[in-house]
Amino acid sequence: MNMNISRVLSTLFLLATVFSVRAEGVMVSDPWVRAAPPNAPALAAFMSLENHSGSEVALIGVTAAAELGRVEMHRTKMADGMMKMIQQKNIPVAPHSSTVLKPGSWHIMMIGPAKVPTVGDQIHLTLSFSDGSEQMVMAEVRRGGMMMKGGGHQMMHH
Amino acid sequence: MKRIFLKNSVALLLLFGLSAVLSGCDRSAERLNLDGSMVLSPPKELPEFIFEHRDMGKFSAENLKGKWSLFFFGYTHCPDVCPTELFMLSEVMRKIEKNPESVAEVPQVVFVSVDPQRDTPDSLQEYAGYYHQSFIGTTGEQESVDILARAMGTMYERVYYLNGKQLLIDEEEGVPEGVENSYLINHSASIFLVNPEGDMHAVFSAPHNPDVMVKDLATIQRAWD
């Protein structure tokens, strides 16, 4: 009984979060975590952030379950003939625009996971934005590389 | 294996290596009609090396003889580039498996860790084998890895972060305590093709497309004798 009530409450809470975020302008779509070898010392999560507001909003923090390790924001950039990993303080999304986190570009990095999730697992991520909003997303673990089918621009349908 | 390479010197050194390699590319190779690779003419002789491998014990230049090999340099703590490239290479293998006639010979894929300080032969083989069971994950003494990497023209540099800020490592003072093992490695994402004589034959520069890789590989193999 209690379980049910808490489930309903958390569902309501999740919906409320999604709707409030939508009202404030950032929409998260297609969050995913790339499947990695069971002994991988690092993981990466990707998603598309759409800013429907008239001012810049940035992703300023990401938290995940402790077993996924330390979470950081990074960007891969080609420079001096190398793919450079540059840690980011935030990931900006320009007004009425979108920033796509994808392989070879912006990404969320999870360092030193105690247990590497497997294909099909759902990873809970909490995203904090510079406008004060927070959003919880479920990122599915799937295999993938640079050329994902449908990766990036699909909208979330609720 | 413990040697710590300092950012700028290594990058410069290896950058020089790359330009030396690329300047060796002959224009006549362009006649091959390649979409994502550059053939070296003549192929470049590679230095001897002896790396360690979990199952084979050793992995050396001898293991390159008689087959085509695709080399990629990286490290397992790599969150983005290596998984992307290894997945792409696994797609190449799946395409070849689906259509064996698409190439003259199935290549072996070799993932060399430039980070022997943290990657062991065991962890490397488990890591590489996840992407495709045929993949070989190997590494050796840092110096030995550096020599092969330099000969192929790949570049890498270690970067350290503390509290979100990249540290500039002073050559005299070395790496500050506490971050010795938490570095990232910037590296080139090129894939190197070694011919059955063990010489470097072509370079596939990033970004890579599995279809282009298979097509170019077949073109290069068929033009080679």
- Answer whether A82 sits within 8 Å of B188, measured CB to CB: yes
Percentage with pLDDT > 70 across chain B: 85
The helix or strand, by DSSP H or E, that contains position A76, with its residue range, turns out to be strand A70-79
In angstroms, rounded to a whole number, what is the distance separating the alpha carbons of residues B206 and B211?
14
The chain B residues in contact with chain A (CB within 8 A) are: 11, 15, 18, 76-81, 83-84, 87-88, 91, 118, 123, 126-127, 129-131, 155-157, 159, 161, 164-166, 184-189, 206-209
Q: What is the pLDDT of residue A70?
A: 94
Domain count, chain A: 1
Residues A62-76: tens digit of each pLDDT: 999 999 999 999 999
**If you measure CA to CA, which chain B residue comes closest to A110?**
B79
Report CA dihedral (B69, B71, B77, B78) to the nearest 10 degrees: -120
**If you measure CA to CA, which chain A residue comes closest to B90?**
A145
- Answer whether A146 sits within 8 Å of B84, measured CB to CB: yes
CATH assignment at residue A120: 2.60.40.1890
Residues in chain B with CB shorter than 8 Å from the CB of A75 are none
* Residue A11 belongs to some domain of the structure: yes
* Residue A153 belongs to some domain of the structure: no
Tell me how many degrees the CA angle A100-B111-A39 measures, rounded to the nearest 5. 70
Average pLDDT over every residue of B138-150:
96
* Residue A111 belongs to some domain of the structure: yes
Q: Give A7's pLDDT tier (boundaries 50, 70, 90).
A: low
Integer CA distances (angstroms), B153 to A26, A145, A150, B77, B148, in order: 43, 24, 35, 22, 8
Nearest to A156 by CA among A136, A141, A131: A136
* Residue A93 belongs to some domain of the structure: yes
* Residue A136 belongs to some domain of the structure: yes
The residue behind tokens 């003259």 is B104
B168 Cβ contact list (under 8 Å, min separation 6): B7
Inform me whether the C-beta atom of residue A148 falls under 8 Å from chain B C-beta atoms: no
| Residue A72 tokens, joined | 């950081």
* Residue A152 belongs to some domain of the structure: no
Nearest to B40 by CA among B214, B204, B209: B204
- Answer whether B87 sits within 8 Å of A144, measured CB to CB: yes
In angstroms, rounded to a whole number, what is the distance separating the alpha carbons of residues B14 and B186?
12
- Answer whether B77 sits within 8 Å of A43, measured CB to CB: no
* Residue A23 belongs to some domain of the structure: yes
Backbone angles phi, psi at A119, to 5 degrees: -50, 130
Inform me whether the C-beta atom of residue A89 falls under 8 Å from chain B C-beta atoms: yes
Residues in chain A with CB shorter than 8 Å from the CB of B165 are 87
Average pLDDT over every residue of B128-135:
98
* Residue A52 belongs to some domain of the structure: yes
Range of the domain at A74: 2-142
Q: Is residue A45 classed as helix, strand or coil in its secondary structure?
A: strand
Q: What is the pLDDT of residue B171?
A: 66
Backbone angles phi, psi at A127, to 5 degrees: -105, 130
Of B18, B76, B186, the CB nearest to A83: B186
Peptide bond preceding A92: is omega within 30 degrees of 0, i.e. cis? no
Contact A109, A71 (CB under 8 A): yes
Ramachandran bin of A112, using left for φ above 0, alpha for ψ from -120 to 50, beta for the remaining angles? left
Mean pLDDT of chain B: 86
Q: Give B92's pLDDT tier (boundaries 50, 70, 90).
A: very high
Backbone angles phi, psi at B86, to 5 degrees: -65, -35
Domains annotated for chain B, with CATH where assigned, are 7-223 (3.40.30.10)
Q: Is residue A92 classed as helix, strand or coil in its secondary structure?
A: strand
* Number of CB atoms found within 10 A of residue A130's CB: 16
Residues B145-203: tens digit of each pLDDT: 999 999 999 988 888 888 777 877 776 777 777 777 788 898 888 999 999 999 999 99
Contact B29, B40 (CB under 8 A): yes
Highest mean pLDDT: which range of A145-149, B27-31, B94-98: B94-98
Interface predicted TM-score (ipTM) of this complex, two decimals: 0.79
